[in-house]
Amino acid sequence: MLSTKPTRSLRTQLILSLTVGLMMMTGCSSIKTTVVGMSVEDRPIECQQIGWGRDTVMIMATIHGNEAAGTPLVSKLAEHLKEHPKVLKGRKVIIMPVANPDGYVHNSRFNVNGVDLNRNFPADNFDASQRHGAYALCEPESRTIKAVLDKYKPNRIVSIHQPVACIDYDGPAAKLADAMGLHTNLPVKRIGSRPGSLGSYAGLTLNIPIITFELPATASAMDRESLWDAYGMSLVAAIRYPDAELH
């Protein structure tokens, strides 16, 4: 007579399945940090995954190394999500705190090859040049960002910049921009798609709603708590979208 008791392997699979299911339903807020790539000068590019749900939001900062106020802002966001796991119910948030680590260290818009990473994506409007790159994805940092997009397939993206002080958007993101605008004094303003930008690539080529969240120049002088008070709930609104409730 065959035993009906599950094997150790099957029991383990059942436990893992139940655990993952529970995490997805309750919005588990543990942070998983992964090195997803390396810069030209061999600095790590890290991503943090918070939550296990299917609705995926990617939030990244400092693709221009001299626009760095987004980095402390997203570190505070990660803490907020740990403290408010309900926000993560059914969701997964991917945070890239420093997309251009060499530029961040050198306080430069460009990577150390002199390329603007936000002009180096394979958008339909990519325009090769010294500053944009000889060809799309010629830089390790832009290749890393694309690899993260390919892996996680986010439903919406927020890229934090300075110093234009507005909420710009590409692709089908007008309503998302309006929802974020309800929680900050930054105006919603359509700037236009730049050649080879992440906005052009994700928003127009891939049809993913993407926000370019432009902080003011003065954000560089703000501490982390002040940044959060001014802009944090706008990021939470992007995560919760289309839900209006923030907590």
Homologous superfamily in CATH for domain 27-240: Zn peptidases (3.40.630.10)
Give the domain ranges of the chain: 27-240
- Which of the residues in the chain have pLDDT under 70? 1-29, 245-247
Convert the pLDDT of each residue in 43-66 to its tens digit: 999 999 999 999 999 999 999 999
Please name the helix (run of DSSP H) or strand (run of DSSP E) that holds residue 155, with its range, or none.
Answer: none
Residue 29's pLDDT is what?
64
Residue 134's pLDDT is what?
98
Residue 30's pLDDT is what?
86
Residue 230 DSSP class? I
**Measured distance CA(175)–CA(177) in Å, rounded:** 5
Residue 37's pLDDT is what?
99
**Measured distance CA(140)–CA(79) in Å, rounded:** 29
Residue 9's pLDDT is what?
56
Residue 175, C-beta contacts closer than 8 angstroms, at least 6 positions apart: 242
